[in-house]
């Protein structure tokens, strides 16, 4: 439940919305100038006087890669020794064949499209990005590599934090109420695996609802009610569950 001491206001870049000593929950979108807290994006500023915390929920923006970010990429190009991936960043990402295959490749004898073709989906981690060239991603790590099952739901990268929720609360709600596996990546592509197509549709609708209503208080309760109503409407649970 939201604290009664939380105050909200729409802000624009450069606008001060709080003064004093607070913990900044969203350092990418808030800077401190003297004793004032200033927004760096267009968004919804939140000041929690009880917890002494400030944050800004962006209402617009794009994905800026950071090392260690988990991302879902689509293969858009196949080279001699690497693949080019669309990860929703200003530059395409590079995935080297030696990284993906775990061994050197011979460009004269191997066609990389046999392993990953244009249109394939890859779960990867950003390894290097210095803003002077495109990011390099890796598939070394548990669970990383070509995606062979599930569906991708795409939202604005700046709304990712709301799908995760504070201390993972929204993420837990989505999985608990649908029985689906939900993997939220930093570039706004959410990989979901559900027991059936009906639950997948309900989950996708709930995620898009979070994206649309991220700036409105009471979001968690509304999303839970929405999922329950949809499951009842589709006959996935009994009607009596709607009142629980």
pLDDT tens readout for residues 164-211 = 998 999 999 999 999 999 999 999 999 999 999 999 999 999 999 999
What the chain holds in terms of domains, given with CATH numbers, is 6-58 (2.40.50.100), 70-146 (2.40.50.140), 151-236 (3.30.1370.10)
How far is Cα of residue 238 from the mean position of the Cα atoms in its chain? 32
**Cβ 239 vs Cβ 230: under 8 Å:** no
In this prediction, residue 3 carries a pLDDT of: 46
In this prediction, residue 64 carries a pLDDT of: 82
C-alpha–C-alpha distance, residues 5 and 51, integer Å: 9
In this prediction, residue 244 carries a pLDDT of: 47
As a whole number, the mean pLDDT across the chain is: 90
C-alpha–C-alpha distance, residues 205 and 164, integer Å: 16
How far is Cα of residue 221 from the mean position of the Cα atoms in its chain? 20
| pTM metric for this prediction | 0.75
* DSSP-based three-state secondary structure for 205: helix
C-alpha–C-alpha distance, residues 163 and 102, integer Å: 33
What is the helix (H) or strand (E) element at residue 161, kind and residue range? helix 160-164
Closest listed residue to residue 125, CA positions, set 188, 190, 68:
68
Closest listed residue to residue 66, CA positions, set 130, 121, 160:
130
How confident is the model over 83-87, as a mean pLDDT?
96
State how far the alpha carbon of 174 is from the alpha carbons of 133, 233, 240, in Å.
36, 18, 20
* DSSP-based three-state secondary structure for 186: coil
Count of other CB atoms within 10 angstroms of residue 134: 18
C-alpha–C-alpha distance, residues 197 and 83, integer Å: 31
pLDDT at 94 over 60: yes
C-alpha–C-alpha distance, residues 19 and 151, integer Å: 44
Count of other CB atoms within 10 angstroms of residue 217: 13
C-alpha–C-alpha distance, residues 151 and 113, integer Å: 22
DSSP 29: T
pLDDT at 243 over 50: no
Closest listed residue to residue 123, CA positions, set 64, 161, 71:
71
pLDDT-based confidence at residue 125 (cuts at 50, 70, 90): very high
pLDDT-based confidence at residue 240 (cuts at 50, 70, 90): low
């Amino acid at each position: 439940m939201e604290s009664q001491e939380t105050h909200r206001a729409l802000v624009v870049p450069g606008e001060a919305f709080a003064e004093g000593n607070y913990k900044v929950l969203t350092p990418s979108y808030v800077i401190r100038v003297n004793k004032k807290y200033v927004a760096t994006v267009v968004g919804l500023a939140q000041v929690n006087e009880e917890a002494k915390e400030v944050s800004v929920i962006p209402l617009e923006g794009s994905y800026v890669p950071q090392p260690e970010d988990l991302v879902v990429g689509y293969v858009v190009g196949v080279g001699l020794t690497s693949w080019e991936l669309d990860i929703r960043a200003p530059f395409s990402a590079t995935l080297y064949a030696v990284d993906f295959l775990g061994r050197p490749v011979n460009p004269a004898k191997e066609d990389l499209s046999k392993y990953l073709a244009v249109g394939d989906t890859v779960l990867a981690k950003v390894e290097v990005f210095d803003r002077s060239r495109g990011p390099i991603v890796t598939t070394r790590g548990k669970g990383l590599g070509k995606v062979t099952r599930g569906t991708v739901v795409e939202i604005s990268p700046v709304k990712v934090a709301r799908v995760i929720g504070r201390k993972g609360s929204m993420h837990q709600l989505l999985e608990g109420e649908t029985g689906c596996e939900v993997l939220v990546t930093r570039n706004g592509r959410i990989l979901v695996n559900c027991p059936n197509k009906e639950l997948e549709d309900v989950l996708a609708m709930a995620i898009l609802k979070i994206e649309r209503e991220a700036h409105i208080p009471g979001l968690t309760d509304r999303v839970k009610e929405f999922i329950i109503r949809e499951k009842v409407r589709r006959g996935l649970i009994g009607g009596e569950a709607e009142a629980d």
